Structure 1
Amino acid sequence: MNTLHFTAESISNGIVERDFTVNGVPGVLWSPESSADRAPLILMGHGGGNHKKHPAMSGRAQRLVHGCGFHVAVLDAPGHGDRPRTEHDEQEIAALFAARAACEPEGPIVVRYNDHLAKLAVPEYHALLDALQELPEIGIDGPVGFWGINMGTAIGVPFVAAEPRITAAVFGQHWPDVLAGYAKQITIPIEFDLQWDDEHISREEGLALFDAFASKEKSLHVNSGKHKELPRFEADSAVRFFARHLGSAVTMSA
């Protein structure tokens, strides 16, 4: 039994923001302020070093709620946001900073650490989905998507590979080393973002992960620029992608 406990609520600009814990893991749920409809749900994963309410998360949520009437939920990843860091977290972060200072490749450390975090986070996202589908405004039969870039992809790809309730997903900007095997198990529609001049992930590595997805419908979005220069308009593209594949809010029966 998963325990969902709402801890705070605020309303701004037509969006209800509710903080919660599910089995003790902190998260946030954004929903339309005034709607008598049941609507699709988008689960999101934040990037490394960020948290559930990082501007990238709240900005994407605002687009999805205002543009589509969707519900959007994010968990703090292990060792991020309101969750304490373990000794293992501190060691991996120190190794990453040391590699960066020495101008050595960061990829092997990030891949290893993100794989560790994903093994912890994937069961938490399964529990989150179970709990949120108990809410009448979401329901057990409504469409669900996943949106995660960078570390959000490291968590999202193994989660989606094991979760048949996800029917569309947006990923991008990660190495194929661990994730390609999971991607081969995914057949739902995929939109994938890649930065052509990424200083950490080579073009060949990015393309290899995209190619690994078994989806009959998958779209590759390539933009010039470095790792942290993903254009903002790709967020609008992702919203259109989810609207196309998940539909829109539907009136709930009495």
Structure 2
Amino acid sequence: MRSLQFTAASSSNGLIERDFTVGDIPGVLWSPASRTTAGPAPLVLMGHGGGNHKKHPAMSGRAQRLVTGCGFHVAVIDAPGHGDRPRTAYDEAEIAELFRARAAGEPEGPIVVRYNDHLAQLAVPEYRATLDALQELPEIGAHGPVGFWGINMGTAIGVPFVAVEPRVTAAVFGQHWPDVLAEQAKRITVPIEFDMQWDDEHISREEGLALFDAFASKEKSLHVNSGRHKELPRFEADSAVRFFARHLTSPGTVAAPA
């Protein structure tokens, strides 16, 4: 098992933020500055979007909601070739091809699907190793509830991760193509909340619905909003927090999120 090492810590706005490494994987763990109940608290692992990093405002904003609203722990690791991790020649070539297609007005989907699948093959074992290490912490524990939250590239990594990881008991996904992920989604039976944009210029309605339909979960909710790819409403983050509060806690163990 790879050991977890904390490398920096700070505290503000009710959160403790701790940078860590698991082997050579850099990550961040947000935890409540004070606990209102004794014992371990649920953990939500998150996956960041393509071209972003573990402390992107979308990640820290979602963590703030989960930590201060629910008393959860939240962790994110940098995906391969992102954040504090160096890019390989393959990363550089795929990114250049994406920018070329974008400038030419060509579809981005085939490139993103291929590249994200490559990253997922590397990242899934890293997330499993990170979960192993985090569950060694007494404030999280080996048997507590675990959720996963990832949109866009976070879905590309999260779907294959949740498909093979029985410790994850609820997940929020969205905004990705079904090409590679649909077969893996068929193996997922935990509760799912899924976001898509009705006017997404990259992912068609049919593609978004196909991925949602592929999940084998008996409980799954489809959240569709008008707007383009990058216009996912911020209130969907609040909905995701309520979703995790329902599925990762017993009644009365945490305060209801605002």
After TM superposition, the structure 1 = structure 2 runs for residues 7-18 of structure 1, keeping only pairs within 5 Å, are 7-18=7-18
- Match in the other structure for 1:192: 194
After TM superposition, the structure 1 = structure 2 runs for residues 70-109 of structure 1, keeping only pairs within 5 Å, are 70-109=72-111
Distance across 2 between alignment mates of 1:5 and 1:25: 10
Deviation beyond 4 Å, 4+ runs, structure 1? 248-251
One-letter code of the match for 2:31?
S
Distance across 2 between alignment mates of 1:250 and 1:63: 17
Distance across 1 between alignment mates of 2:74 and 2:141: 14
Secondary structure (helix, strand or coil) at the match of 1:147 reads: strand
Give the superposition deviation at 1:126: 0.3
Give deviations 1:173-212, integer Å, cap 9, x for gaps. 0000000000000000000000000000000000000000
- Mapped contact 1:38–1:250 kept (Cα < 8 A): no
Q: How many residues align?
A: 251
- Mapped contact 1:37–1:250 kept (Cα < 8 A): no
2:106 matches 1:125: no
Give the superposition deviation at 1:37: 3.5
Secondary structure (helix, strand or coil) at the match of 2:17 reads: strand
After TM superposition, the structure 1 = structure 2 runs for residues 44-193 of structure 1, keeping only pairs within 5 Å, are 44-193=46-195
- Match in the other structure for 2:221: 219
Calculate percent identity across the aligned residue pairs. Answer: 84
Give the superposition deviation at 1:250: 5.8
Structure 2 unaligned residues grouped into runs of 5+: none
Give TM-score scaled by structure 2 length. Answer: 0.96
Distance across 2 between alignment mates of 1:123 and 1:37: 28
Give the superposition deviation at 1:115: 0.1
One-letter code of the match for 2:234?
R
Distance across 2 between alignment mates of 1:131 and 1:41: 12
Distance across 1 between alignment mates of 2:84 and 2:26: 7
Structure 1 unaligned residues grouped into runs of 5+: none
Give the superposition deviation at 1:14: 1.1
One-letter code of the match for 1:3?
S
Give deviations 1:65-120, integer Å, cap 9, x for gaps. 01100000000000000000000000000000000000000000000000000000
Distance across 2 between alignment mates of 1:61 and 1:99: 34
Give TM-score scaled by structure 1 length. Answer: 0.97
- Match in the other structure for 1:20: 20
Distance across 1 between alignment mates of 2:119 and 2:190: 24
Distance across 1 between alignment mates of 2:3 and 2:102: 40
Secondary structure (helix, strand or coil) at the match of 2:19 reads: strand
2:43 matches 1:41: yes
RMSD over aligned Cα, in angstroms?
Answer: 1.1
